[in-house]
Amino acid sequence: MSDPGTTLAAWHATVWAMLAAGVRDARAPARLPVLATVGVDGWPQARMVVLRAADAVAGVVEVHTDVLSPKVADLRTTPRAALQVWDAGGRLQIRLRCAVRVLTGAAVQGQWGRVPDLSRLAYGAVPPPGAPVPGPGDYGTEPGPGRFAVLRCEVMAMDVLHLGTPHRRAGFDRADGWRGQWLVP
C-alpha cells in the first residue's frame, strides 16, 4: 500500500481500501489484524484474527470465530474491541474502535454456508480452545454451525498513523460523518 495521500478524505479512503484488500488477499497487511478486548477478568487481551468482511459504507468489519473461544466470552461481557493493522511496507498503522455484536445461529447461516470445508475445522475443537491437554495434539474437531460466530464490528472511530517525514496522524469519528481531524503523532 502506498502513501495515504495528503487529504483527510484520501486517508479515510486508504483505510477502507486496505481493509478490503485484507478480506480478498491472504497476503495483504490487513488480512491478520490484532483484535484487543477486555477480558472477563478485566485484563486486556490481544490476539491475531482473520479479517472476513469490510463494508466501507456501513462502516463495519467482520471476524469469524469459535463460539467457545474466550474472545466471545470477553465480548459478551464487554462488547468493545480495538482492531489494529500495521502495514510495514507502507509504514501505516490503522486502529479501529469497534462496538461488537456476537452473531450466532440463524443470523449467520448464510455466512456458515460459504465457509469452505477445510476452514470449518477452525470452529469445533474438542475440548474447546484454551482447555489444558496432556500433549500438544490431544484434541479433535467436531465442526458445525453451532460453534460458528460472526463478530460484527461497527467501527466507531479510526486512528491512522503514517511514519514518514514528518510523521502524520489522523482521527476519524462516526459521530461527525468521518470528516476527520489531523492529530499530533
Nearest to 66 by CA among 108, 7, 36: 108
CA angle 78, 63, 71 (to 5 degrees): 35
For a second copy, the closer CB: 129 or 146: 129
The reply on whether position 21 binds a second copy by CB under 8 A is no
The reply on whether position 130 binds a second copy by CB under 8 A is yes
CA distance 28 to 102: 25
CA distance 12 to 7: 9
For a second copy, the closer CB: 23 or 98: 98
- The least distance separating a second copy from the CB of residue 35, rounded to whole angstroms, comes to 8
- The least distance separating a second copy from the CB of residue 110, rounded to whole angstroms, comes to 27
- The least distance separating a second copy from the CB of residue 138, rounded to whole angstroms, comes to 7
The reply on whether position 37 binds a second copy by CB under 8 A is yes
Residue in 52, 64, 71, 95 binding a second copy, rule: CB under 8 A: 95
Contacts (CB under 8 A) with a second copy, residues 74-93: 78, 80-84, 86, 93
List all residues 6 or more positions away from 64 whose beta carbon is below 8 Å from its beta carbon.
Answer: 50, 52, 111, 115, 122, 123, 148, 149, 150, 151
The reply on whether position 38 binds a second copy by CB under 8 A is yes
Integer CA distances (angstroms), 92 to 76, 78, 113, 185, in order? 31, 28, 34, 12
- The least distance separating a second copy from the CB of residue 2, rounded to whole angstroms, comes to 16
Nearest to 61 by CA among 32, 87, 38: 32
CA distance 24 to 124: 24
Residue in 1, 13, 36, 103 binding a second copy, rule: CB under 8 A: 36
The reply on whether position 5 binds a second copy by CB under 8 A is no
Instruction: Point out which residues bind a second copy (CB under 8 A).
Output: 6, 32, 34, 36-38, 42-48, 78, 80-84, 86, 93, 95, 97, 125, 127-139, 166, 168-171, 181-185
